[in-house]
């Protein structure tokens, strides 16, 4: 959610002094809007270079540093993570996707003039991964859907402020107010103190003759769910016009005849939307109202229980509840077809399992709508993936997943990527999902041996070093100039395809209740290091591999993973 222009208006110094007051956070409790905090931290960390596919060590370090400081200040946090986006938010989600598409396109075409930030695939997962490390002072709550109202309700239940960067919290009836995560309002000090400013709605309401007129802001300016046909006006214009009015009816006398019924309807909707009652964590988790796409309640099922534990991917839950899947906007070469297309066969395995949750047409065919960027990189494309009755019947239905043995679940994973289960047994558990992803990627993306080895070496260095892997970039290494100048965007696309495959396998593994451990991108992938390896001459690259095999002890997985890919490619040929 978000009210266009309201944060900018509130952050003007003259308004801050009126509507905010100093607040000591040390030893207090906060409710955090998880994804708002996650993405705001990335946007404020300007040094993170995303254009080569993702500097995941930097991302994880950014999150870890933030929560370490909260812990040192004695702050206890409830962190709420958004769930399935409501379908009524489709227009806003499309706008955000197109905006991210534009930023990626500009960044990749002009990487040395990078002006914007962008979060790579699985940034939210890494955020949640970090939260688990702070279990002594952080409780994580996975909301069913759009979480803003639940966040406000929790804050009032636990008598504490909300920390986020979302203008909707200026309007919610928060008893202890809202602390915007902005450098001017949330500053780290020495001696474990945080200098914060607490926004209080009652102070802002004093600017209105009738305090209830505050709801004109979302009613006219618009948020993600409330719209005006002709578009809203600015907050500043609205604030000037309402100051002369002492009631809604008086305000409406200054509007056109066409606007009046719409504003009145939006006003009533806004009053209901932004007025919340206190709710505890336990109440929130037990009162799910989600249904499957064909109308069956999810309350009491293993599906919603696993999701609330953080074990089921939100993208899978969206397919179960809405029958559609908005595929991620990848950091990719904008002049090639979207890298997400590579994983459709794995996704079909997911769709077959969740088929009992999907509606069917008169012929017994079930469909899942996939949404992704188009080939010209200027809009979104939609395709329905069809599932016949016979292929759904041949698949294990979702209700039977909890009863399956781990070996059977792993067999389903292997079948999805066409791997013999017996061949997977050569790998330690932590490398099995990676092996499956490499097998599928090598067959469908057809990477060169150099790129396969570069990716596996990147995995090895990120796994072994335990710190920022870019420190191992030796700029004295011999560079193949032609390779460095011509093919980096092509390589970016090929590696984006691997990330998509690994993400799809992650989703399937989560649907099967995680029979295999998942190594996150934070411990596997670094775009800058990987691209460095692709530019090395053959001699320099082979020397780097030998060094890590001898000094880093990665022999046990490097050669087996490479041979696994080679076997795949030879069969394809």
Is 214 part of a structural domain of the chain?
Answer: no
Q: What is the mean pLDDT of residues 401-423?
A: 95
Report phi then psi at 148, rounded to 5: -55, -50
Half-sphere exposure of 121 (CA within 13 A, CB side): 29
Is residue 365, in this structure, part of any structural domain at all?
yes
pLDDT of 335 reads 92
User: What mean pLDDT do residues 529-541 have?
Assistant: 92
Question: What mean pLDDT do residues 268-283 have?
Answer: 93
Task: State residue 287's pLDDT score.
Answer: 83
Cα separations in angstroms, 236 against 7, 232, 240, 308: 11, 12, 6, 41
Question: How confident is the model at residue 18, as a pLDDT?
Answer: 87
Asked, for residue 181, whether it belongs to a domain, the answer is yes
Dist. CA 415–CA 421, nearest whole Å: 8
Residue after which a domain boundary falls, among 148, 175, 206: 206
How far is the C-alpha of 480 from the C-alpha of 474, rounded, in Å? 14
Lowest-confidence segment of 425-434, 526-535, 551-560 by average pLDDT? 551-560
Asked, for residue 557, whether it belongs to a domain, the answer is yes
Residue 430 has pLDDT above 90, yes or no: yes
Global pTM? Answer: 0.93
Cα angle 183, 85, 339 (rounded to 5 degrees) comes to 85
Q: Is residue 568 part of a domain?
A: no
Mark whether 43 and 172 lie in a shared domain. Answer: yes
Please, which pLDDT band fits residue 508 given cuts at 50, 70 and 90?
Answer: very high
| Domain encompassing residue 70 | 6-206
pLDDT of residue 227: 67
Instruction: Tell which of 206, 233, 254 closes a domain.
Output: 206
**What percent of the chain lies above the pLDDT cut of 90?**
68
* Residue 196 and residue 331 share a domain: no
Report the domain count for the chain: 2
Instruction: Reply yes or no on whether the pLDDT at 538 is more than 60.
Output: yes
187 shares a domain with 306 = no
The reply to whether 347 and 460 lie within a common domain is yes
Phi, psi torsion values for 512, nearest 5 degrees: -85, 15
Could you say which of 149, 178, 206 is where a domain stops? 206
Mean residue pLDDT of the chain comes to 90
Six token digits for residue 573: 């040929």
Element (H, E) at 197: strand 194-199
Q: Cα 88 to chain center, whole Å?
A: 19
Whether the predicted pLDDT of 1 surpasses 80: no
Residue 424 φ then ψ, to 5°: -75, -20
Specify the range with the lowest mean pLDDT, choosing from 58-67, 83-92, 170-179.
83-92
The band of 570, judged by pLDDT with boundaries at 50, 70 and 90, is: very low
Considering the domain architecture, whether residues 200 and 310 belong to the same structural domain is answered as: no
User: What is the per-residue pLDDT for 481?
Assistant: 54
Query: What separation in angstroms does the CA of 46 have from each of 43, 59, 570?
Result: 7, 11, 44
Q: Is the pLDDT of residue 302 over 90?
A: yes
Tell me, yes or no, whether 193 and 334 share the same domain. Answer: no
**Structure token digits, residue 63:** 């999150």
The answer to whether residues 193 and 307 belong to one domain is no
Whether residue 190 sits in one domain with residue 317 = no
CATH code for position 74: 3.40.50.1010
Q: Taking 70 as the threshold, does the pLDDT of residue 484 lie above it?
A: no
What torsion do the CA atoms of 362, 365, 371, 372 make, to the nearest 10 degrees? -140
Residue 363 belongs to some domain of the structure:
yes
**Rounded mean pLDDT, 542-546:** 91
At 486 the pLDDT is 53
pLDDT tens for 113-148 read 666 788 999 999 999 999 999 999 999 999 999 899
Residue in 60, 74, 168 with CA at minimum distance from that of residue 119: 60
pLDDT single digits (tens) 353-371: 999 999 999 888 999 999 9
Place of tokens 């109440």: 283
Whether pLDDT at 167 is above 60: yes
Query: Is 527 contained in some domain?
Result: yes
38 and 147 in a single domain? The answer is yes
Q: Tell me: do 198 and 340 sit in the same domain.
A: no
Does the residue 114 lie in any domain?
Answer: yes
Q: What local confidence, expressed as pLDDT, does residue 228 receive?
A: 67
Other CB atoms within 10 A of residue 30 CB: 23
pLDDT surpassing 90 at residue 224: no
**Mean local confidence (pLDDT), 554-566:** 89
Residue 160 or 15, more confident: 160
């Amino acid at each position: 959610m978000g009210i266009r222009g309201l944060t900018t208006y509130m952050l003007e110094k003259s308004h801050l002094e009126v509507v905010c007051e100093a607040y000591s956070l040390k030893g207090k409790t906060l409710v955090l809007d998880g994804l708002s905090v996650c993405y705001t931290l990335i946007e404020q960390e300007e040094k993170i270079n995303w254009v080569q596919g993702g500097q995941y060590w930097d991302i994880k370090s950014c999150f870890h540093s933030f929560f370490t400081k909260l812990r040192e200040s004695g702050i206890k946090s409830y962190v709420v993570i958004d769930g399935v986006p409501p379908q009524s938010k489709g227009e806003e989600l499309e706008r955000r996707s197109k905006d991210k598409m534009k930023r990626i396109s500009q960044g990749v075409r002009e990487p040395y003039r990078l002006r914007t930030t962008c979060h790579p695939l699985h940034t939210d997962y890494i955020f949640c991964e970090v939260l688990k490390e702070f279990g002594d002072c952080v409780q994580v709550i996975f909301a069913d859907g759009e979480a803003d109202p639940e966040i406000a309700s929790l804050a009032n239940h636990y008598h504490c402020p909300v920390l986020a960067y979302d203008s909707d919290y200026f309007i919610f009836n928060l008893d202890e107010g809202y602390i915007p995560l902005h450098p001017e309002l949330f500053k780290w000090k020495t001696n474990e103190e945080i200098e914060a400013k607490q926004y209080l709605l009652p102070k802002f309401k004093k600017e209105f003759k009738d305090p209830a007129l505050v709801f004109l802001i979302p009613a006219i300016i618009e948020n993600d769910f409330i719209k005006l046909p002709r578009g809203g006006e600015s907050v500043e214009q609205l604030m000037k016009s309402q100051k002369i009015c002492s009631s809604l009816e008086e305000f409406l006398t200054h509007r056109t005849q066409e606007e009046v019924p719409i504003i009145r309807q939006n006003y009533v909707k806004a009053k209901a939307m932004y007025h919340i009652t206190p709710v505890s964590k336990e109440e929130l988790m037990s009162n799910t109202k989600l249904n499957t796409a064909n109308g069956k309640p999810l309350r009491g099922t293993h599906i919603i229980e696993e999701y609330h534990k953080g074990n089921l991917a939100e993208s899978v839950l969206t397919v179960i509840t809405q029958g559609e899947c908005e595929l991620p906007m990848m950091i990719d070469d904008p002049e090639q077809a979207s890298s997400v297309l590579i994983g459709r066969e794995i996704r079909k395995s997911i769709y077959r399992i969740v088929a009992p949750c999907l509606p069917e047409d008169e012929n017994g065919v079930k469909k899942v709508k996939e949404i992704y960027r188009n080939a010209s990189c200027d809009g979104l494309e939609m395709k329905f993936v069809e599932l016949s009755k016979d292929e759904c019947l041949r698949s294990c239905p979702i209700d039977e997943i909890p009863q399956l043995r781990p070996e059977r679940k792993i067999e389903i994973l292997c079948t999805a990527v066409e791997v013999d289960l017996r061949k997977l047994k050569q790998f330690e558990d932590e490398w099995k999902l990676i092996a499956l992803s490499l097998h599928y990627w090598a067959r469908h993306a057809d990477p060169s041996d150099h790129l396969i080895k570069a990716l596996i070496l990147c995995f090895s260095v990120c796994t072994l070093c335990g710190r920022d892997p870019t420190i191992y970039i030796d700029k004295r290494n011999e560079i193949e100039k032609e390779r460095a100048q011509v093919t980096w965007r092509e390589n970016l696309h090929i590696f984006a395809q691997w990330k998509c495959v690994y993400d799809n396998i992650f989703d399937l593994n989560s649907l099967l209740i995680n029979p295999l451990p998942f190594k996150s991108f934070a411990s596997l992938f670094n775009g800058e290091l990987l691209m460095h390896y692709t530019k090395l001459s053959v001699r320099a690259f082979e020397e780097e591999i030998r060094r890590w095999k001898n000094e880093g002890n990665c022999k046990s997985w490097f050669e087996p993973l490479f041979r696994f890919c080679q076997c795949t490619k030879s069969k394809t040929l």
